[in-house]
Structure 1
Amino acid sequence: MKRIIYLFLMGYSFVFAQNANIPEGINPGYKAVDIALPNLNDSVVKLSSLRGYYVLVDFWASWCGPCRMKNPQIVELYHTFKNAKFKDADGFVIYSVSLDYSKKAWEKAIAIDNLNWKYHVSDLKGWNSTAAVNYQITSIPNNLLIDPNGIIIGRGLSEQQIKKILNSKKQ
């Protein structure tokens, strides 16, 4: 009987350890590599501080025409899901990573495009941004969708794909 209990506990420990040690990476199924960049007030905001939420990490820039054309769709996503109730999350947030070089241009684009969410970050290094380098972002607009546990659900998703995923997670 002791052997059975021992084997059961060993098996349980093995399964638990596997789930707790999901490696960090940049592709779906991996734990998102943390991003820690300053916001508009120069306070550093970590991506990992948003655990518990579905997070859309949106890579964009004020000088990027396609990004600016896509921003109304991102705004629509935000308004559609910002107050949604999810089965396994506290909500939905957008973590916008700007690949701008100019803080003034970045701030102006946020205001003009009505990007009225809380989490806007940038190190103002453009393509040399640590977030862009770490996530191998070579074109914008681009995005990641991250689950409440910090696991990447998808990369480069369309708004329709994001809506489908988030709608399937609602209560």
Structure 2
Amino acid sequence: MDGEKAAPAAAPATPLVLHPAVAPLSYLLGTWIGQGEGGYPTINHFSYAEELHFSHSGNKPVIGYTQKTWKLGSGEPMHAESGYWRPKPDGTIEVVIAQSTGLAEVQKGTYNAEEKVIMLQSEIVGNASKVREIRRLFELVNGDLRYEVQMATNTTNLQPHLKASLKKL
């Protein structure tokens, strides 16, 4: 080892310390993958594969969120969105999401930590020429993360748009 320095030993990984506001939703943290289906009165029915990722740095009351979908057969990308979820100790939650289509959402809602249910309602839907309202329901059922999205446009009332079931990796 003439003149060579030994590489420093890697520091042991420290476990993530959850911010107290994030702890009730810690079951979301990680990567989820599965399949979904969608449609709308103005859109033909379709199926897709999906990956959701929820992350937390430990120092702020925020959960990072990313989502991407692709066509089942070809793997061709379909949709992507990202944002931040801010749970509050009183069971309310604020969410901001930017979609790859240019649409931006500000949502507010509630979560039930015991039943593992999150309900979100759009407060603002920005940069959308047609979309006027979005509702999202997430629930953990037998270990699967399931969600449903409803949407209203300028010409339709609130109606089912998407639903999926995802397993944690």
Asked if Structure 1 and Structure 2 have the same fold, meaning a TM-score greater than 0.5 normalized by the shorter chain, the answer is no
Asked which structure has the greater RCO (Cα within 8 Å, sep 6+), the reply is 1
TM-score in terms of structure 1 length = 0.27
Q: Which of the pair is proportionally richer in helix?
A: 1
| Structure with the higher strand share, 1 or 2 | 2
- TM-score between both structures, scaled by the size of structure 2: 0.27
